[in-house]
């Protein structure tokens, strides 16, 4: 596959209606080969419906979608061979062991019994699952079950991996392990990853780009840092030795037209929104020229959470 020319995932006007509402309107999306793309959005924004359409579990009502070069509606069999899926919540038979699940998955992906056994051993080793390989998965911990789930999704060596809220219910250590694995799959093996998540830190850590869905519409799609620069606010907080100095600084900065942050973050502190590049240096010079010297200063960078709150949760049309 020509990575540069052909996106691993491409949707044009993709949408899905249900009896009483439209879950996804007209989604245009491209995810490049080897990229980790995060779909963010509040509950009911259309993330899981999008994943279900892209993985052939749900037929689109309109538009087209291609995964690894195959059309999800016209050639679902190829999509199912080329894409691995980790669903929201574990999708495993609790009575079967990891070994049984992996071998069966191999057979269903047309590996010979011998190939399926070899692939099973390889994945059990890779996921440190040999110790519990023969235990029914219903008796495993949440983290162990998630590892088995991911291993099952990788049996056929997919080009594209869909992860629908993969770390929900995992402890922090298991979550970090899974992040490492996802990074490795994308960086070392060129696997394209599309993940949905409610954890913004996860998206920030993992994703090359994120898209924000609101009410079934993609309202932003860019690298996390670009979204932060575009949407998020940076704040400069200065702490003075007494209230009098803080009041003088507040008056001076207000007179200069700076946007004061009204919330009191600390005693004798003044906080302003940095609305333009270099505003932090200018502010310090202004204060110094008036004989006001801060005892400490901090610059708060915007987080993806700020971006998310601003774009996804503010009323439609109110976002910047």
Partner 1 sequence: MSTVTTADTAGPPAAPKSWAALGPLTARSLKSCLRTPSLLLSPLLTSAFFMIIYEGQLSSVTAAATPGGRYIDVVLPLCLLTTAFTGGATAGQLFVNDIGSGYHARLWLTPVGRWALLAAPVMAGVVVLAAQAAALTGLGLLLGLDPVTGAPAILAIISATVLLGTGFLLLAGAVGLHTGNSSAVGSVTLVFFPLSFFTATFVPRDQLGGWMAHAADVNPLTPPLEAMRGLLTAPWNEQNLLPGALVALAILVTGAAAAHLALTRRTRTGV
Q: How far is the CB of 9 from partner 1 (least distance, A)?
A: 16
Contact 140, 132 (CB under 8 A): yes
Q: Specify the stretch interacting with partner 1 by CB under 8 A; choose among 32-40, 49-57, 207-215, 250-258.
A: 49-57
45 or 283: CB nearest partner 1: 45
Rounded to a whole number of angstroms, the minimum distance from the CB of residue 302 to partner 1 is 32
State the DSSP code for 172.
H
Nearer to partner 1, 31 or 311 (CB): 31
Q: What is the DSSP string of 153-166?
A: HTTT--SEEEEEST
- Asked if 26 is part of the footprint of partner 1 (rule: CB under 8 A), the reply reads no
Nearer to partner 1, 157 or 241 (CB): 157
Among 42, 69, 169, 190, binds partner 1 (CB under 8 A): 190
Measured CA to CA, the distance from residue 142 to residue 165 in angstroms comes to: 14
Cα gap 108→81, rounded to integer Å: 10
Distance of alpha carbon 193 from alpha carbon 104, whole angstroms: 24
Using rule CB under 8 A, residue 310 touches partner 1: no
For partner 1, give the closer residue by CB, 184 or 314.
184
| Secondary structure (DSSP) of 290-303 | TT---SEEEEEPP-
Binding of residue 74 to partner 1 (CB under 8 A): no
Contact residue for partner 1 among 28, 134, 171, 180 (CB under 8 A): 180
**Smaller CB separation from partner 1, 87 or 194:** 87
Alpha-carbon dihedral angle through residues 214, 219, 223, 224, given to the nearest 10 degrees: -50
Q: Does residue 105 touch partner 1 according to CB under 8 A?
A: yes
Residue 3 in the binding site for partner 1 (CB under 8 A): no
Q: By CB under 8 A, name the one of 26, 81, 261, 273 that touches partner 1.
A: 81
Around Cβ 33, how many Cβ atoms within 10 Å? 20
**Interaction mask 198-237, partner 1, x per CB under 8 A:** ----------------------------------------
Which stretch, 2-10, 55-63, 225-233, 253-261, contacts partner 1 (CB under 8 A)? 55-63
CA–CA distance from 221 to each of 64, 66, 208 (Å)? 19, 19, 11
DSSP state of 263: S
CA dist 284 → 132, 237, 241, 279, 296 (Å): 60, 11, 16, 9, 11
Under rule CB under 8 A, residue 89 binds partner 1? yes
Give the one residue of 67, 133, 151, 249 binding partner 1; rule: CB under 8 A.
151
Q: Which residues contact 110 (CB under 8 A, 6 or more apart)?
A: none
Residue 84: name the closest of 169, 164, 198, 197 by CA.
Answer: 164
How many residues interact with partner 1 (rule CB under 8 A)? 53
Query: Interface residues with partner 1 (CB under 8 A)?
Result: 52, 55-59, 77-78, 80-82, 85, 87, 89-96, 100, 104-105, 107-111, 122-123, 125-128, 147, 151-152, 154, 156-159, 177-178, 180-181, 184-185, 188-191
């Amino acid at each position: 596959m020509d990575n540069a020319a052909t996106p691993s995932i491409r949707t044009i006007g993709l949408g899905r209606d249900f009896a009483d509402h439209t879950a996804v309107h007209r989604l245009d999306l491209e995810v490049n080969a080897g990229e980790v793309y995060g779909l963010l959005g509040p509950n009911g924004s259309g993330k899981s419906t999008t994943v279900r359409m892209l993985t052939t579990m749900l037929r689109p009502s309109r538009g087209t979608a291609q995964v690894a070069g195959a059309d999800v509606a016209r050639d679902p069999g190829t999509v199912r061979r080329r894409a691995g899926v980790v669903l929201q919540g574990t999708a495993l038979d609790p009575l079967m062991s990891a070994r049984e699940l992996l071998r069966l998955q191999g057979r269903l992906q047309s590996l010979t019994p011998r190939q399926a056994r070899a692939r099973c051993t390889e994945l059990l080793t890779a996921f440190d699952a040999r110790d519990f390989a023969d235990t029914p998965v219903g008796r495993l911990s949440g983290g162990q079950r998630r590892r088995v789930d991911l291993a099952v999704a990788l049996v056929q060596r997919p080009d594209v991996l869909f992860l629908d809220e993969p770390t929900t219910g995992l402890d922090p250590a298991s979550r970090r392990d899974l992040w490492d694995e996802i990074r490795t799959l994308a960086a070392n093996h060129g696997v394209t990853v599309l993940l949905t998540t409610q954890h913004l830190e996860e998206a920030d850590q993992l994703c090359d780009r994120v898209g924000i869905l609101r009410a079934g519409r993609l309202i932003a799609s860019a690298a996390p840092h670009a979204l932060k620069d575009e949407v998020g606010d940076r704040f400069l907080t200065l702490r003075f030795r007494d209230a009098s100095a803080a009041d003088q600084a507040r008056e001076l900065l207000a007179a200069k037209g700076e946007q004061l942050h009204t919330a009191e973050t600390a005693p004798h502190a003044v906080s302003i929104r940095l609305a333009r590049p270099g505003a932090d240096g200018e502010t310090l010079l202004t204060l110094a020229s008036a004989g006001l010297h801060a005892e400490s200063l901090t610059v708060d960078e915007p987080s993806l959470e700020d971006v998310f709150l601003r774009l996804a949760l503010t009323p439609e049309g109110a976002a910047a």
